[in-house]
Structure 1
Amino acid sequence: MIEKDFSREVARITIANDRKLNSMGSALLKEFAAAFAAVPDTARCVILTGEGGRAFMGGADITEMGRVQTPAQGQAFIESVHGACRAIRDCPVPVFARINGWCLGAGLEIAAACDLRISSSAAKFGMPEVRVGIPSVVEAALLPGLIGWGRTRRLLLLGETIDAEQALDWGLVERVVEPDALDGAVQEWVDLLLLAGPVSIRNQKALIREWEDKSVTQGIAAGVPAFAKSWLTDEPQKMMAGFGKKH
């Protein structure tokens, strides 16, 4: 199941399938996407994690994939993986991946779709799909932007598994801490984000998404209307006035 806590301005979504290393089949992937679609407008950010201490997400449900018999069935399954990743990327507020253990295959695609990733030092990362007869697809396409083409080829073609320190060195995650410090480190990020204007954070995430699909020249141009849009509310005036008083 997917556990949701939307009671505060920091929403929390947990993949609760610890018995199977938080792997997700098509039904759970659709439930996951629905959870992100239901994040309330009052949320300032989302923390995504896996149940227990063994895995963030061990990948897609290999048992269900093993029952796939036709290209049409394969397409339907992978579209559910893509739908889950797209739901994260379409979420209007930042999503923090709290990576507490194994992060493999579709789990790494889910993590790559998040805005920032913080990892336990005990976590392991990999894209082992070629070892079970399928390519890594959909949001695996985000990996070159994070770690470069050569390292992406290592993960996808060789099926290597890397540890958290190597993931940090490669740029696959932004921070690594000891397991018992993970929640405190996530809270540090949350506290920093809450210092920012809620509208400006949403506008910034939307603009970053635009930059991913545009040339540098187009991305610069897209920033002009995004900047002007800030004054559709009084957030800039209020926050600049407060900033001036503090300094």
Structure 2
Amino acid sequence: MKLETMTIKKLENGVHVVTINNPPANTLNVGIQNDLLKIINNVKSDSSIRVLVFKSAHPKIFIAGADLGQMSNTDGPIDYAEGAKQLQDIFNALEQLPIPTIAAINGHALGGGCEFALACDFRIMGSGTIGLTEASLGLLPAAGGTQRLPRLIGGAKARELMFFSKRLNALEAESLGLVTKAVEPATFDEEVYQFANILGQSAIGALGLIKESILAADGTLEAGLKVEREAFAKTFGTGEPEEGMKAFFEKRAPNFMQQLTT
């Protein structure tokens, strides 16, 4: 798989680390969007990928957001709604991946960078700031931010952050539940990989079905319960319940990784 703005490093337990490198500021241009789509499609066809970690090669920026120069310098009309839909579709596909995803934020994640992080399952943050700051430019978050942030931290606080274009540090973001965990920059990589490694050894099939059920909670309770019970039935086709229950009765830790070695 040829990527222009990202590299992938394979670690143990099916953890794959995606490093975003799109100088000068990791803007969400077409190159990043195309590479992200390639990775998403690759996950769907490669069962050895159990966890995705997204990090940045830039020392101070995770993802800067949209390419403002590209948006303002144009000779012809732009279909802004269609452009937003393309990014929304990519982030939706990222959110719906049947494996855990982690945004490893060790630099600024503002605007579209924050929206990218919101589409991941977990956000671990060391340094920099995070926030949906589009209103300071006379814009609004258009890659899912107005939908995902209220679901994550509640409507009142989401309004405050977006209306005032607030930039939060790691501890502030953790206190609101915007990031999963704030860590010291000195131990950032170690803690991210430890977190990912634990997930990699988990029952990935079950975790993917949990994600599917959680996303269904945005609809009616009846519809969500239907997805939940169907997902429960699907777990018995993964082989994971057999190992999990066997380990329980044998009083040992389950080995959900065995499918990769057999």
State the TM-score, normalized to the length of structure 2. 0.85
Paired letter, 2:142: V
Q: How does 1:93-242 map to 2 (within 5 A)?
A: 93-120=99-126, 122-140=127-145, 141-211=147-217, 213-242=218-247
Q: Does 1:27 align with 2:31?
A: yes
- Between 75-84 and 162-171, the greater mean CA deviation after superposition: 75-84
Q: Does 1:2 align with 2:5?
A: yes
CA distance in 2, matches of 1:88, 1:235: 24
Greater helix share, structure number:
1
Paired letter, 1:196: S
Whether the 8 Å CA contact 2:6–2:35 is kept in 1: the answer is: no
> Could you tell me which residue of structure 1 aligns to residue 260 of structure 2?
none
Q: Does 1:16 align with 2:21?
A: yes
Count of equivalent residues: 244
Deviation of 1:6 (Å): 6.0
Partner of residue 91 from structure 2, selected from 69, 85, 92: 85
CA distance in 2, matches of 1:22, 1:178: 23
Whether the 8 Å CA contact 2:18–2:55 is kept in 1: the answer is: yes
Deviation of 1:26 (Å): 2.8
Segments of 5+ residues of structure 2 without an aligned counterpart are: 253-262
Whether the 8 Å CA contact 1:6–1:12 is kept in 2: the answer is: yes
CA distance in 2, matches of 1:85, 1:54: 23
Partner of residue 36 from structure 1, selected from 40, 64, 68: 40
3-state SS of 2:179 partner: coil
Paired letter, 1:4: T
State the TM-score, normalized to the length of structure 1. 0.89
Whether the 8 Å CA contact 2:112–2:143 is kept in 1: the answer is: no
Whether the 8 Å CA contact 1:81–1:106 is kept in 2: the answer is: no
Deviation of 1:69 (Å): 6.5
